[in-house]
Chains A and B, each alone.
Chain A
Amino acid sequence: MTATAPDGARSFRWRRRSVLPGFGLSMGYTIAYLSLIVLIPLAGLGIRSASLGWDQFWKIAFDQRVVSALQLSFGAALIAAIINTVFGVLVAWVLVRYRFPGRRWLDAAVDLPFALPTAVAGIALATLYAPNGPFGMILDDWFGIKVGFTSTGVVMALIFVGLPFVVRTVQPVLEEIDRETEEVAATLGARRWRTVTRVIFPALFPAILTGFALSFARGVGEYGSVIFIASNLPYQSEIAPLLIIIKLEEHNYAGATAIATIMLVISFAMLFVINLLQAWSRKWFGHE
């Protein structure tokens, strides 16, 4: 943050004084709307699962099938988020630092997974990677890799839905970093790699972290695109959201609520840590 007063000694006041009006209104509206749309409904979920009692809750949570579904959801989302982070930073770098024909359109294409309905993405991916699909056949014949209807397929779908997050969080920051800073570093004799690790990376770090977290969080919960490309077999490629749907359709609200709560708590904790880390790294690296 640039314009507000620099971070000084910690104030005991709840908020720092500002000359700008609208704190009450914007705070009130934000909290009210947030409560109405997000918090109260989610609290309903909490209350339902609290009424389960610990015994029952743990029994559901540590059921083997639930554990393996959660493992798959979080594991596949992690792998997808890592792949997306690597390629996302690369894509952002290329989009910002190089000029080539079609760059602008490529830039626009990155948002496609945001805009394309997940069900459409799922059907399209399943068509591509099914054993008789163009990619599925090539991968299977040449490399013996089966994608459609396996957990690899799950990762594939999650890469698709999570891709824009990293690119879109890293790109603006990368644009911000003055070339000057780099040039200064270079003229001062820093080698290119050193420039990257010492100057660019620290500045990018918070953005990469956010992108990674969002991509991961999105992947954990993804349903629409995955069910088309996964085999949905228990212990193999049954994701946690599917298990929630199954429990729901078995009329097992307790089970559905418990799994939903576990996912929610983990995701929330993760987002919170990331947001804290970000605030910390902003201070630490002194960027933004």
Chain B
Amino acid sequence: MRLKLVALAASLALAACGGQTNAGGEISLLNVSYDPTRELYEEFNADFSANYKTPEGKTVKVNMSHGGSGKQTRSVIDGLDADVVTLALQNDIDLIAKETGKIPADWRTKLPANSAPYTSTIVFLVRAGNPKNIKDWNDLTLPGVGVITPNPKTSGGARWNYLAAWAYASKQFVGDEAKIKEFVGALYKNVLKLDSGARGSTVTFTQQGTGDVLITWENEGFLTLDEQGADKYQIVYPSLSIRAEPPVAVVVGNAEKKGPEQVAVAEAYLKHLYEPAGQRIVAKHYYRPNDPSAADPADIARLQPVEMVTIDDPLFGGWAQAQPKHFDDGGLYDQIFTAR
């Protein structure tokens, strides 16, 4: 059968060119990232490619993959050939390090500020005029308020959302876990749709007009105002939020296979995030830069000061404790959903 042979030859040829080859004067780098960083890295990659050349004079083309942080983590563990990961949670990178050994266990020490080049926080996005008068977390538990937030099982941002609500409740009820659970449970009872990533939730809230309040990244909130019109939505800062520290790391195991040059490029790429030019771009996209002095002061002025807890607060005890306690199968998050 001729057809069969053609098909066979074609699939063999494909398999052969499946391995990554670096064309002539260009190196390609794969950055596997979480959901709301699309616009940030679009600009940052262009800036990096324009300004960076390897010692041999090669230019760099950065490929992107975006998705929920958990999904991206799984893909890298299953073999997605990422050179760098820029994810929403420290825990996700820890998992890659543990499962594959392609990232050194002490990756957090490789770059400044625990390898988090910028921080962000969690805010509310409400419809113009704030018709439901939402001011703080307790308004989200009131009957009749429709809440949109992504699924903490698949989305990193959603985990920060959940933990911020938990922190607020913990302060309200002075650590009484039964009451905290009840509060967070009431909040999640108001959730209308759990999307798999932060961006999916934004689309549900804006394009499909569902819900009264979207719990989301500060940067995502501002971006939505830009894209959808500041006259349609407004941002509400709660009285207490959480400091989200999205970390970055070189996937040494993957980069090494492509040669020492690849590792050097990957390292330079992440370092560029910390350099003034990188910090400036970070601030422009509504993230909170580590070094505000490098950013346009107007960009910094847009972000309101807000009281924030961190994941290393004794309340959570770092990701190593918070992840299993809250998000693993049968953890506190699963417990607040009871069969109805």
Contact = CB atoms under 8 A, between A and B. Distances in A.
Asked if A and B are interacting partners, one says yes
Interface of A: 64-65, 68, 126-127, 130-133, 148-149, 227, 230-236, 245-246, 248-252, 255
Interface stretch (B48-56, B69-77, B178-186): B69-77
Residue of A127, A132, A232, A248 with most partner-chain B CB within 10 A: A232
A131 B195 CA distance: 16
Contacts of B154: 245-246, 249-250
Main secondary structure of the interface of A (DSSP, over half): loop
A232 B193 contact: yes
B339 A127 contact: no
Nearest to A227: B196
7 contacts: A65-B334, A126-B208, A232-B195, A235-B340, A246-B153, A246-B154, A250-B153
B339 A233 contact: no
Contacts of B97: none
Given A131-B210, A235-B339, A249 B153 contact: yes
A64 B339 contact: yes
A231 B340 contact: no
B196 A127 contact: no
Contacts of A235: 337-340
Nearest to B68: A249
A251 B95 CA distance: 9
B209 A130 contact: yes
Contacts, number: 72
A149 B210 contact: yes
The binding surface of chain B is classed by DSSP as: loop
B192 interface: yes
Contacts of A249: 68, 70-71, 73-74, 153-154, 196
Contact of A251 (B74, B151, B193, B194): B74
Q: Among the interface residues A127, A236, A246, which one has the most CB atoms of the partner chain B within 10 A?
A: A246
Interface of B: 68, 70-71, 73-74, 77, 95, 99, 151, 153-154, 191-196, 207-210, 327-329, 334, 337-340
Contacts of A149: 192-193, 210
B329 A250 contact: yes
Q: Which of B77, B195, B210, B328 has the most CB of A within 10 A?
A: B210
Given A227-B196, A246-B151, A248-B74, A236 B340 contact: yes
B124 to A, nearest CB: 19
B337 A231 contact: no
Nearest to B330: A63
Given A233-B337, A248-B74, 16 more contacts: A64-B339, A65-B337, A68-B339, A130-B208, A148-B210, A231-B191, A231-B192, A231-B194, A232-B196, A233-B191, A233-B193, A249-B71, A249-B74, A249-B196, A250-B70, A250-B153
Contacts of A246: 151, 153-154
A277 B38 CA distance: 53
Contacts of B207: 127
A234 B70 contact: no
B151 A255 contact: no
B151 A130 contact: no
A52 to B, nearest CB: 14
Most chain A CB inside 10 Å of its own CB: which residue of B95, B99, B196, B327: B196
Centre residue among A130, A132, A149, A230 by max chain B CB count within 10 A: A149
Contacts of A252: 329
Contacts of A148: 208, 210
A250 B328 CA distance: 8
Given A227-B196, A255-B329, A232 B210 contact: no
B209 to A, nearest CB: 3
Contacts of B70: 249-250
B99 to A, nearest CB: 8
A165 to B, nearest CB: 28
A111 B255 CA distance: 46
Nearest to B154: A249
Contacts of A245: 154, 196
Contact of B209 (A65, A131, A231): A131
Contacts of B74: 248-249, 251
A127 to B, nearest CB: 7
Nearest to B99: A251
A267 B207 CA distance: 36
